[in-house]
Amino acid sequence: MCGIVGYVGKSQAAPILLDGLSKLEYRGYDSAGMAVYDGTKIEYEKAKGRLRLLSEKTHDGETMQGTIGIGHTRWATHGEPSEANAHPHLNEEETIAVVHNGIIENYAKLKEKLIKRGYNFKSETDTEVVAHLLDYYYKQGNDPLTCVTKVMHRVEGAYALGIIFADYPDQIYSVRKDSPLIVGLGKDGNLIASDVPAVLKYTRNVYFIENEEIARLTEDTIEFFDVDGQPIEKEAKTIDWDVDAAEKGGYDHFMIKEIHEEPKTVRDTLNPRIKNDTVDIEELGMSDDEIKSISRIRIVACGSAYHTGVTAKYVFEEMARIPVEVDIASEFRYRNPILQENELVIAISQSGETADTKEAVRMARAMGNMTLAIVNVVGSSIAREAEKVMYTWAGPEISVATTKAYSAQLVALYLLAMKFADVRGLLSADEMKSLITDLKKLPEQIEMLLGNKERIQKFANRFVAAKDVFFIGRGIDYAIAMEGSLKLKEISYIHSEAYAAGELKHGTISLIEEGTLVGAVATQENVYAKTVSNIVECKTRGAFILAVTTVGHEDIEEVADYVMYVPQTNRYFTNSLAIIPLQLFGYYVSVGKGFDVDHPRNLAKSVTVE
């Protein structure tokens, strides 16, 4: 969740640190800080709240002189948001500075031992333990690399670390265990960061640090070591994103920019996998025999990715006739699941670093099951942990509330279901061609929906004061309702819940009263009449009905107060269209309430800790 940036080179470090941290604000944070070696000592500054406060305190970094430094945006875990708990943390002599993403699980025991050895603590954080532990080993006469390896052998949990030593003013040390960290190879210096957007301005050549690896950076060298301090070789990767992809590009928020990028995202995910009127997923690396042998699919994911999994369950089961179970990753990993032989476990994650999903993959592999990752970030942890990987190629998604990555995941899952159905002999050539034709229409249809955003904005303005909102649907429409509800609640802070429409009379309808907004999704022809009946049940109890349906169902206007129409498409693919007006609705409600759309309170983009 936290953001880490480090720089060593020819330029002043602090402005570069601030710039890099600004590209990581999407990760979620409540305080920020920097440490820079100024030629004689480590100087540091911290601020509670938004990054601009740190920038103001340091006059955009100009008051902190020095060409080596580390910066951090903190999302509170141990200790409240405060300057004392903000990173960096230092030893008592202030000769070692540390920034940290993750959780040190055994920090309490380590802290107790360090206190007995005379160490004093100024914060409530687990990170300060690392600073004092480094100090303890350094005072025993160890060099910095040895100190780092000894700390790695002592601490338990997930962590990414950036470290500077005043006695070694030309070196940054970075360490990774189950928390993302990259190294950027620049022209005028080298960098470390939690994610690629932080370094794109300075380089496109990056190293992805693997688990339990150490990097030592100077102005013109980068060395890598294993947990025992032995040198290792690594190969740099070239990032092909356009730098503008990590900027707003004239839009008010990243979220609305990324909504407008959904047509391109769908094309980029779809087009390379359509060849000669069939689905060809080269990178999948699964033989036809392996696909035919799959007895069951288990999808594990969190948040919006979980909702794409719910859609996939309906598509896979009907199209490919493979039974599918969908699990919230945090539930899957802490129960004792029964996985069948030949059961494929599909893990879905935008960042590829989602802690619970990553552990679910490890658990499935340990049980002997084949794993397939559907992720956006090339070289991410989940992509490396899973046996098979399918990338969504959505480009960087900055807003915490996912939109284009969600759409890319849907398309990837459609293609996978079509591939499996085809291999298993369940799709004729004509059926495959028809499905592909509808898939190829999706980008243009999404663009058409975006052309109606002003109409949705006007409607959204009527409900900025709403207290409770309910979304209902059946089948795939229920999965759409779940995501529409999440989009609204996470950025507007309005209480919103999604229910299977058939469950209304089993308790939920008691909450419907005069003026309650009910969003009803009704795109599935086989359950359309049933959903309309549920709409009537809500309407007669005073609800205001927002309906999302396909063109041709104008009769719904007889029972709904406001209707959002989406173009007709194959029933499997309606989520890709119906979610667009719901994303826009959530966005405009949040804008109308004056909230920070891209950085909703208490949330982070990459949930890298439990």
Question: pLDDT of 554-591, one tens digit each?
Answer: 999 999 999 999 999 999 999 999 999 999 999 999 99
For the stretch 91-120, pLDDT in tens is: 999 999 999 988 899 999 999 999 999 999
Mean of the per-residue pLDDT values of the chain: 92
Q: At residue 608, does pLDDT exceed 60?
A: no
The reported pLDDT for the residue numbered 333 is 86
**Cα(33)–Cα(86) distance, rounded to whole angstroms?**
6
Predicted local distance difference test score (pLDDT) of residue 20:
92
Whether the CB-CB separation of 233 and 45 falls below 8 Å is answered with no
Please state the φ and ψ torsions of residue 23, each to the nearest 5 degrees: -80, -10
Structure tokens at 41: 């000592």
Q: Give residue 600's pLDDT.
A: 84
Question: Please, which pLDDT band fits residue 393 given cuts at 50, 70 and 90?
Answer: confident
Q: Which pLDDT band, with edges at 50, 70 and 90, does 28 fall under?
A: low
Mean pLDDT of 200-214: 91
Query: What confidence tier does 187 reach under pLDDT thresholds 50, 70, 90?
Result: confident
- Summarize pLDDT for 49-97 with one digit per residue, the tens: 889 999 999 999 999 999 999 999 987 777 788 999 999 999 999 999 9
* pLDDT > 90? residue 267: yes
CA torsion sign for 514, 518, 523, 526 is negative
pLDDT in tens, 279-329: 999 888 899 999 999 999 999 999 999 999 999 999 999 999 999 999 999
> What average pLDDT score do residues 244-260 get?
83
Residue owning tokens 């759309």: 597
What's the pLDDT at 26? 66
DSSP 8-state assignment for residue 142: -
How many Å apart are CA 304 and CA 326, to the nearest integer?
Answer: 13
pLDDT of residue 157 exceeding 70, the answer is: yes
Model pLDDT for residues 415-459, shown as the tens digit of each residue: 999 999 999 999 999 999 999 999 999 999 999 999 989 999 999
Q: Are the beta carbons of 296 and 340 closer than 8 angstroms? A: yes
**Whole-number pLDDT of residue 180:** 84
- Residues forming the active site: 2, 605
Q: What is the mean pLDDT of residues 156-164?
A: 92
Is the pLDDT at 46 greater than 70? The verdict is yes
For CA atoms 310, 548, 408, 353, the dihedral sign is negative
| Sheet strand arrangement including 168-177 | 89-90, 96-104, 157-165, 168-177, 213-217, 222-225, 231-232
End-to-end CA distance of the chain: 10
φ, ψ for residue 490, nearest 5 deg: -75, -25
Average pLDDT on 186-214 reads 91
Whole-angstrom distance, CA of residue 172 vs CA of residue 69: 8
Q: Which candidate, 263, 603, 253, 594, places its Cα nearest to that of 450?
A: 263
Q: Which amino acid is at 109?
A: K
Q: What percentage of the chain has pLDDT greater than the value 90? A: 75
Burial of 196 (0-12, 13-18, 19+ CB in 10 A): buried
**Bridge partner list, 246:** none
What's the rounded Cα separation, in Å, for the pair 324 and 295? 9
Q: Does the pLDDT value for residue 242 go beyond 80?
A: no
Return the pLDDT at 436. 97
- Contact between residue 434 and residue 570 where contact means Cβ atoms under 8 Å apart: yes
Query: Taking the alpha carbons of 515, 517, 518, 520 in that order, is the dihedral positive or negative?
Result: positive
Nearest one of 399, 356, 433, 373 to 597, comparing CA atoms: 399
Compute CA distances 94 → 41, 42, 81, 216, whole Å.
8, 7, 22, 20
Q: Which helix (H) or strand (E) holds 132?
A: helix 127-138
In three-state secondary structure terms, 470 is strand
Confidence (pLDDT) at 341? 87
> For the purposes of burial, counting CB atoms within 10 Å of the CB of 574, is it exposed (0-12), middle (13-18) or buried (19 or more)?
buried
Q: Is residue 605 pLDDT above 60, yes or no?
A: no
Give the per-residue pLDDT at 190.
97
- State yes or no: pLDDT of 395 exceeds 90: no
Banded pLDDT at 249 (limits 50, 70, 90):
confident
Question: In this predicted structure, what is the pLDDT of residue 378?
Answer: 79
Q: C-alpha distances in angstroms, 300 versus 303, 319, 330, 334?
A: 10, 20, 9, 13
Look at the pTM and tell me if it is higher than 0.95: no
The pLDDT value recorded for residue 200 is: 87
Beta-strand ranges (E) seen in 329-370 are 343-349
Helix (H) or strand (E) holding 55: helix 51-57
- What's residue 604's pLDDT? 58
Q: Is the pLDDT of residue 243 over 70?
A: no
Contacts of 40 (CB under 8 A, 6+ apart): none
